[in-house]
Amino acid sequence: MADSECHKRQQRGRKYWEIHSTWRQWTIPTNNVRIRQGALVLRGDTTNSNASVTYFKDGKFYRAAAKAVIFAGQSHTARTACEHLLSASQANAFDQVTLSPVLTANVTLRSAAPIVDLGYDGYYWGSQYWADFVVADWVGPNRSNANRQTVLTFYGGIQRRSKTNPVNGFKLLTTPFSSYEDSLRADLNRVLAGRNFDFDRDVTAVYLYRWGHSMVYPKPGWPFSAPINKNGQVIRVPSARFYARQQLGRISFGAQDVESSPANESALGAGVRTKRRNLTAALTYLRTIRKSSLPLSEKHTDARRKEPCIHEQPKASGPKVLRARHARSGTNSRAGRRKGSEARQQ
């Protein structure tokens, strides 16, 4: 092995260790934010004051409790962990989620020259398994450097997977790696023909990823139900996903599945939705606690005032007007307005 190649592998090893060490920092008990890697969540529970999850890690069972819990993984995991909490209608709504198997691959190139002018995403037809590829570092500052090494991320065509047709997921997991690699070779040699590209010469590695239930399949009726016509007026009806993601006590459901489309935007939208819902509930709870703990005299600050609060409001032109605010109600009353008119000064 050449010294330069050996050095590159050592650099990649160091980078992997740096990332791995960073993730390990999240498991330190003194951190405010912690991540439990290798933990399998088995159950979610909720009470009037908190929520909890039971998980399995390193041969032991644990329970973590908090003011609120958000299940942000795929919906089938939440459906299983919270099965004892779901009503029949909500469980039925969860069961309508359809997930599709997805195949992805990362292909490393010695040089970006064959694809440097193609843009971010390249779709093409005629592949046995693949639909498109994106240039992994296209958004970086080195985009126009044709001599840089780069990575192409390939995505397979999404096929619907249902209870009556689980064959696609099984085929994805059992197809030999060589079949996917041969398809990549044939596709790239064909698509990049005339660009001085040769798969066996220019590709340094192929990494394959098989996801048996990767993406939600937005079948008709899942993003939105068919509207109904009532006396000539079109009325929209919530689809099953709106019922599936209903909050259970202090447990919320996020992830792209219940936002209907397999996209980062859906996952982010679910995060924003559940965050706002829980923060709103927490603020309401804190306000309730604060009001119940205050002395009666502090709950209504205006009740402590013996005299009306006088606000001087100068007009753009003309005499100044002094208005009186009613001491008890805190609003402009008829009596207050009458006093204000009497107190008008020239």
In tens digits, the chain (346 residues) has pLDDT values of 455 555 555 555 454 445 455 666 777 777 777 888 889 999 999 999 899 999 999 999 999 999 999 999 888 899 999 999 999 999 999 999 888 888 999 999 999 999 999 989 999 999 999 999 999 999 888 889 999 999 999 999 765 555 545 676 778 888 999 999 999 999 999 999 999 999 999 999 999 998 877 788 888 888 888 888 889 998 988 999 999 999 999 999 988 888 888 888 888 899 899 988 888 877 776 676 666 655 554 444 443 333 333 333 334 444 433 333 333 444 444 444 444 444 444 3
What domains are defined for the chain? 36-96+220-278 (3.50.50.60), 99-216 (3.90.660.20), 302-342 (no CATH)
| Residues in the chain, total | 346
CA-based radius of gyration for the chain: 31
**Could you tell me which residues come within 8 angstroms of residue 34 by beta carbon, excluding any fewer than 6 positions away?**
26, 27, 28
Q: How far apart are the first and last CA of the chain?
A: 98
Strand ranges, E, within 125-255: 130-135, 150-156, 203-216, 228-230, 233-235, 251-253
Query: How far apart, in Å, are the Cα atoms of 67 and each of 48, 51, 70, 128, 209?
Result: 10, 6, 10, 49, 37
- Tell me the C-alpha distance between 244 and 52, whole Å: 20
- Tell me the C-alpha distance between 76 and 161, whole Å: 14
For residue 243, report the phi and psi dihedrals to the nearest 5 degrees.
Answer: -80, -35
Tell the residue number behind the tokens 């971010």, with chain if given: 120
Pairing of strands 40-46, 51-57: antiparallel
| Both structure tokens of 207 | 């990494």
Sign of CA dihedral 8, 198, 175, 132: positive
Residue 121's region, left for phi above 0, alpha for psi from -120 to 50, else beta, is beta
Run of H or E residues at 5: helix 3-25
pTM here is 0.65
